[in-house]
Chains A and B, each alone.
Chain A
Amino acid sequence: MSYIKAEDVSRQFTRADGSVFQALDHVDLEVKQGEFICLLGPSGCGKSTLLNILAGFESASAGKVTIAGQAVTKPSPRYVTIFQNYGLLPWRTVLKNVELGLEEQPIPAAAREKTARHYLEVVGLQDFADSHPAELSGGMQQRVAIARALAVDPEIIFMDEPFAALDALTRMKLQDEVSAICREQKKTIIFVTHDIDEAVVLADRVVVMTPNPGHIKTILPVDLHGQRDRTSPDFWDIRERIFECFALKPEDKTEYYI
């Protein structure tokens, strides 16, 4: 039983000069509840467009998207998106940022704060509740965004290249943390990235996408037997297979920088 279902989804953009750009071309995707899916591909492959359509920020030009049987028409707190540039509100403290989504729900202020503090603890930032985002490092800011997303107890978390702006070591650390937190909290995750290693570390299934026009080339299950070790032979095996997916495209001479 698929939980998120994209059927024959296409999306065109009209450029300023009137020409039409095919961002997504007949994409089908089914995701089960609790799955961790990575949309992987170079820029222009439509992975962010697909994410925006699934999250309800954009509508498809053709095709249908449903979550739990219901058509997606607009964003909802049940599906929270985490952005590359964090999307924190700089005028609010860390605690107040985490409370943001809860303020829209009929929850008393005390309970709201308690929930927010709990999720700050989950991401290890309980000591920074009263700081402002500008005082934190990029990795810490993204942790706040994760806490803010978790606080409204969403069913799905969409992540749009959330670690792209972080340095390599911080990124790896956050990958491990996100992987652990999301599996523990039993969330369904759709994670957009252009980083092959990141996709292999995180995903249950890697959706490999290619551009011109953007479509899904293949979907690879990642079976690492619960061992997400970046140096294991299994890891390298899957990594190799993804490399092949991108390299074996004789009909397309586009260069990729991945």
Chain B
Amino acid sequence: MQKVKYIGGALVILLAAWQAASRLGGWNEALFPSPWSTLRGLGELLASGVLAADISASLGRFALGYISAVLLAMGLGLVLGWYRNIWNYLNPIAQVLRPVSPVAWLPFIVLFFGIGEMPALVIIFIAAFFPVLLATVAAVQGMDPVYLKVARNFGIGQPRILGKIVFPAVFPRIATGLHLALGTAWVFLVAGEMAGAQSGLGFLIIDARNNLRADWLMAAIITIGVLGLALDGIVSYLEGQIYRRWGIRRN
């Protein structure tokens, strides 16, 4: 109940500030839309089916890029966390690559993969890959040694121990990395889709700008925000379920 109050309050504040800015700013309606014209623009996008098509294009791309990054990063992180000697050599490389914004790679990505569908996928992939990889490695290295003792005691050998004991034991800590990566990757979705994609929410933003449809632009921004929030909510819920099952109290 308290939460509804806060969200409602936030909405009122946002709408009031927005309305005031568009009224008092004196900008052309085509450059900065009022809430009302944004709502109308959103209605248009919905009615024409453009928004639904772009949302599904974006979500499809996002799912492919994110899931492939997560699977690869978890698998690699599991092995690299386990074989500390290899990781000691790779860690400096990962630490240098991690802080680079995925968008910086764009010219090279275009060079390697061409324009169109791939840049968005690759950028989402890079954005999600490093947080998950580092979280997995850290989780494996920081695992409670009692699990390994139990596994050795009962004769659970390599490589089965990785799937049977190590991965589930560290999964709650990886889940935190998955959550983080989801947010980061969603942020870079739009940037990725600006590099020649012909569909998706990033493309919608470029398209709206080129057509001087600020109302569509604003509608697209709101859609991206709301979808990002929804994805985050789903992952938070799943994370909570995992923590509960594993008996970890959330702080």
Q: Which residues of A contact B (CB under 8 A)?
A: 55, 57, 74-77, 79-81, 83, 85, 87, 89-91, 100-101, 104, 132-135, 152
Contact = CB atoms under 8 A, between A and B. Distances in A.
B154 A57 contact: no
Contact of B168 (A55, A91, A104): A91
Contacts, number: 58
A90 B246 CA distance: 5
B245 A77 contact: no
Contacts of A79: 153
Contacts of B171: 91
Contact of A104 (B146, B154, B245): B154
Contact of B154 (A83, A91, A101, A133): A101
Contacts of A87: 146-147, 149-150
B168 A75 contact: no
Contacts of A81: 149, 153
A134 B149 contact: no
Question: 10 smallest A-B Cβ distances: which pairs?
Answer: A134-B247, A101-B154, A87-B146, A90-B246, A91-B168, A87-B150, A75-B153, A75-B152, A104-B155, A90-B247
Contacts of A55: 153
A134 B245 contact: yes
How many interface residues does chain B have, given as a range?
Answer: 10 to 19
Given A57-B149, A81-B149, A90 B245 contact: yes
Given A89-B165, A89-B168, A134-B246, A100 B154 contact: yes
B152 A57 contact: yes
A132 B247 contact: yes
B156 interface: yes
Given A57-B149, A77-B155, 4 more contacts: A77-B154, A83-B149, A91-B246, A104-B156
Contacts of A75: 149, 152-153, 155
Contacts of B57: none
A83 B149 CA distance: 9
Interface in B208-251: 244-248
B169 interface: yes
B165 to A, nearest CB: 7
Contact of B153 (A80, A89, A91): A80
Contacts of A135: 247
A91 B149 contact: no
A85 B153 contact: no
Contacts of B147: 87, 89
A14 to B, nearest CB: 19
A90 B242 CA distance: 10
A80 B150 CA distance: 9
A27 B169 CA distance: 36
B246 A77 contact: no
Given A89-B147, A89-B168, A89-B169, A74 B152 contact: yes
A76 B245 contact: no
Interface in B115-144: 144
Contact of B146 (A76, A77, A83): A83
A55 B154 CA distance: 12
Contacts of B152: 57, 74-75
B164 to A, nearest CB: 8
Contacts of B144: 85
Contacts of B146: 83, 85, 87
Q: Which of B146, B154, B244, B246 has the most CB of A within 10 A?
A: B154
Given A91-B168, A104-B154, A104-B156, A132 B245 contact: yes
A18 B152 CA distance: 29
Q: Which of B149, B165, B244, B248 has the most CB of A within 10 A?
A: B149
A22 B153 CA distance: 26
A210 B7 CA distance: 64
A79 B152 CA distance: 11
